[in-house]
Structure 1
Amino acid sequence: MGTDVRPADGSQPAPKRVIAHLDCDAFYASVELLRRPEPRDKAVIVAHDGPRSVVTTASYAARRYGVGSAMPLSRAKRLCPHAILVPPDFASYKRVSRELWAIVSGRLGALQHLGLDEAYADLTGVEKPVRVLRELVAEVRGRTGITVSVGIGPSRLVAKICSDLGKPAGFVAMGREEAARRFAGHPPKLLPGIGPKSAERLRELGIETIGQLQRTPLETLTARFGANHGADLLRRAHFHDDSPVETERVLKSRSNERTFDEDVASLAELEEVLRRLARELCEGLRRRGTRGRTIAIKVRLDDWTTVTRARTIDAHTNDTALVTEVALELLRAYAPPRPVRLLGVRLAGFDEEGGGAAAPPRNAAQLALPL
């Protein structure tokens, strides 16, 4: 996964960088199968049963029929009508997640968590890291019943892609140069950080594979994407990535949203839902002692058009009355032109120390709230 570079002064070379990405296989479905009598090879779909529900996750037996996360449940049922439908139980998932990652961190130290079911670990300088990880995967499986796929590389970028290879129970190690060769024929969207919009803009330039992106002149990319994004695309295509494993995660935002079973056209009804969402959001923030300055709403129309509106106030707050009033003003100013499928409220721009000046608890109209 690279070679040591010996410094000119003759001192010992810096150890090769070794990053691992650990990803639990179909985590929610795996937790459900562990506590149910059905055989492990059964098709299981984790989702609330409703006309507007989407799939939270699915077992690999269900995925073989084309069922995937975020798919409308109605379509998943058509693809796999014999699947067992299980409502999500996030309290259980969090409990198993805590147990699992306690085992992992006990062996590997600090982790960068990406959610309940995946994390990065920096094993640079660890003796025989591949053996350590294989033993860890076996221990996790034996103690929790959860299977973890592992990707190992010189960077988070390579490790992330490797962990998806051979799932379930994948275990792949690869260097940067090998990754650049092996994935040259794959579409650019394989690379983390290249989403659907960037992939479409690349296709407009005739770039449909990572190999083609590797051979594209930097000038062409910067002309289309700008200096920073264009250079980043080329770096990713060659699998260059020196981003650190960040073991202290800074909370950037918290949100609360609701998808309606039937589209809502009534502004009065939307306002009532928004009030409830804001209240629940602020109650959770107060329990954590967290306050933010940027208040935002998210509105998804019945044609899937998604709009966000935000306003930054003068001081950090988690006051229900203030957040609610600003959110309502944003909703009324937008005035959804079509029935609404999803509505949400978000607070961001947190005070890092939990201190800072708090916003007055009442009457948002007394504050200067720039548009």
Structure 2
Amino acid sequence: MTSPPIRRIAHLDMDAFFASVELLRQPQLKGLPVVVGGRSRSAGWLGNAKLEALPPEQIPLEAFARLHSYTGRGVITTATYEARQFGIGSAMGMMKAAKLCPDAYLLPADFEQYRAYSRRFKAIIAHYAPEIEDRGVDEVYIDFSDVPGGQDEGGYLLAKRIQQAIFDDTGLTCSIGVAPNKLLAKLASEWHKPNGIFILMPEQVTDRLWPLPCKKVNGIGPKTSEKLDSMGIRHLHDLAHADAQALIDAFGPAYGAWLHRIAWGHDERPLVTDSTPVSMSRETTFERDLHARADKAELSALFTHLCERVAADLQRKGYAGRTVGVKIRFPDFRSATRAITIDHHTQDAAVIRQVAGQCLKRIDLTRRFRLLGVKVDNLLPLEQAQQMDAKAQQQPKAAQYSALQLSLPFE
């Protein structure tokens, strides 16, 4: 009798994805420290129309901005490995990064381009292994367990085929970890970066896992790590051999038990292959703190742009939603959120803008703020939403929502 295949889960992570996409069209920057972020790519990004008209690979190095010239509150989206050697990482403030590597080249982000490449590499993966959990623009989990070749050499041969196929089609590299579960696969994908493959077999789990600091596990943040440290628990070996009840007492029944399980490499989470979104949102952090009155023209334009981008996301993916919300973040990093549910589903930018404007009226905007976001929840596929709205129109209802006649706080 043939034994069932062992569980083999792969985590595929594109290497410095945004920066790598940029280097495909600007190869003159290869081998140099490059950071991406701060703003989106648009006309005028170089400040020289003649240079922008050149083929990207012909733009001279001196035309690109350097990090030392940046001022503002933008954050790093990604960085090349040459920049990372200076300690620069994703989500780091630009001004802080400028102190670490002032001569790094600075490129604006081009999210449309990144999404296009994301669709390409995911389509390649699906050709080899159709059971995929999409984890964002640059990473996925893949179930190798029942795929032809997925058990060969622990999954190495299939991982190599996928890695090579992505490179041949896009020119981009990726790193892949294959392990008994999602927790271990994500860790393994980091162990041979960039352009590497790491195969972790069940009998190797504790040898590889236990020497790692607890904070290496996704889900153990700085505060938890600090608390574990105060308990004398610094590495996953310590966590595995800690008293389970003590962990539950310190962190609560669910999280404490989870900490004990993951220290032994246990993770039974299935791949989530249903990609139905629960919400769509867009937000932006300003270069400087803005005020609803003093900066009303700039805020109005930014607000309109966010609503249009959310609407475009909904339309492109074929969804509509009933709940519109906003988020404001103040200079002290405290946030305020408000939401309104309307009586029909929408993917229309004008409706989203008007309802979001009403949400803003429920927030005290006498203070300056540093971030503005717009979100649409309660999503349904467009056809299903239209059918539900048609049925609702046949039912008596008390009052229609009247936000469309009301002005915005910026106007």
Range into which the TM-score falls when normalised by the shorter chain:
0.7 to 0.9
Alignment of 1:186-205 (within 5 A): 186-205=212-231
**1:237-256 matches, cutoff 5 A:** 237-256=263-282
Q: Give the drift of 1:149.
A: 0.6
Among candidates 298, 305, 313, match of residue 334 of structure 2: 305
- Does the 8 A contact of 1:44 with 1:62 survive in 2? yes
Instruction: Call closer, same or farther: CA 1:353–1:106 in 2, change over 3 Å.
Output: same
Contact 2:318 2:381 in 1 (8 A): no
In the alignment, what sits opposite 2:98? Answer: 77
Quick one: structure 1 residues 288 and 159, their matched pair in 2 at CA, closer, same or farther if it must change by over 3 Å?
closer
CA drift at 1:27: 1.1
Q: Paired residue for 2:320? A: 291
Normalised by the length of structure 1, the TM-score is: 0.84
**Is contact 2:83–2:104 with CA below 8 Å preserved after alignment?**
yes
Q: Is residue 363 from structure 1 mapped to residue 389 from structure 2 by the alignment?
A: no
Render the CA deviation track for 1:75-131: whole Å, top value 9, x for unaligned: 222222222222222222222223323222222234222122211111113331311
**Conserved? CA contact 1:162–1:173, under 8 Å:** yes
Which of residues 286, 306, 331 is equivalent to 1:277? 306
Verify: 1:334 aligned to 2:360, yes or no.
no
What is the identity, as a one-letter code, of the residue corresponding to 1:83?
A
CA distance in 2, matches of 1:94, 1:275: 22
Aligned residue for 1:178? 204
Correspondence for 2:375 among 340, 343, 346:
346
> 1:297·1:331 contact (CA, 8 Å) conserved in 2?
yes
Distance 1:319 1:172, change over 3 A: same
Structure-2 residue corresponding to 1:33: 23
Shift of 1:211: 2.1
Shift, 1:165, TM fit: 0.8
Secondary structure of 1:103's partner?
A: helix
Is the contact made by 1:176 and 1:239 (CA closer than 8 Å) also made in structure 2? no
Quote the residue 2:50 is aligned against: none
Q: Which of 44, 58, 61 is residue 34 of structure 2 equivalent to?
A: 44
**Aligned AA (1:136):** I
Q: Quick one: which amino acid aligns to residue 314 of structure 2?
A: L
Query: d(CA) in 2 for partners of 1:271 and 1:39?
Result: 35
Equivalent-residue separation in structure 1 for 2:316 and 2:160 (angstroms): 39
Which of 107, 110, 119 matches 2:128? 107
Scaled by the length of structure 2, the TM-score of the pair is 0.76
Secondary structure of the corresponding residue to residue 185 of structure 1: coil
Q: Is the contact between residue 271 and residue 328 of structure 1 (CA under 8 Å) also seen in structure 2? A: no
Matched to 1:333, the amino acid is R
Report the AA paired with residue 77 of structure 1.
A
Per the alignment, residue 75 of structure 2 pairs with 54
| Equivalent residue runs for 1:153-172 within 5 Å | 153-172=179-198
One-letter code of the match for 2:94? L
Mapped pair 1:90 → 2:111: yes
d(CA) in 1 for partners of 2:113, 2:101: 25
Cα distance change on mapping 1:92 and 1:308 into 2, 3 Å = same
Query: In terms of mean alpha carbon deviation, does 227-236 or 14-23 score higher?
Result: 227-236
Find 1:135's aligned residue among 156, 161, 185.
161
Gaps of 5+ in 2: 40-69, 394-399, 406-411
| CA-atom RMSD in angstroms | 2.9
Using the alignment, how far apart are the partners of 1:257 and 1:237 within structure 2? 36
Change (3 A) 1:36 1:283: closer
The CA distance in 2 between the partners of 1:363 and 1:212, in whole Å, is: 59
2:138 maps to which of 117, 126, 139: 117
Report if the CA contact (8 A) 1:321-1:363 is conserved.
no
Q: Secondary structure of 2:123's match?
A: helix
Aligned-pair distance for 1:362?
5.0
8 Å contact kept, 1:158–1:175 = no
Is the 2:318–2:382 Cα contact (8 Å) retained in structure 1? no
Q: CA deviation at 1:161?
A: 0.5
Match of 2:254 among 228, 241, 251: 228
Q: Displacement, 1:38?
A: 1.6
1:5 aligned residue: none
Provide the C-alpha distance between the structure 1 equivalents of 2:220 and 2:342, rounded to a whole number of angstroms.
32
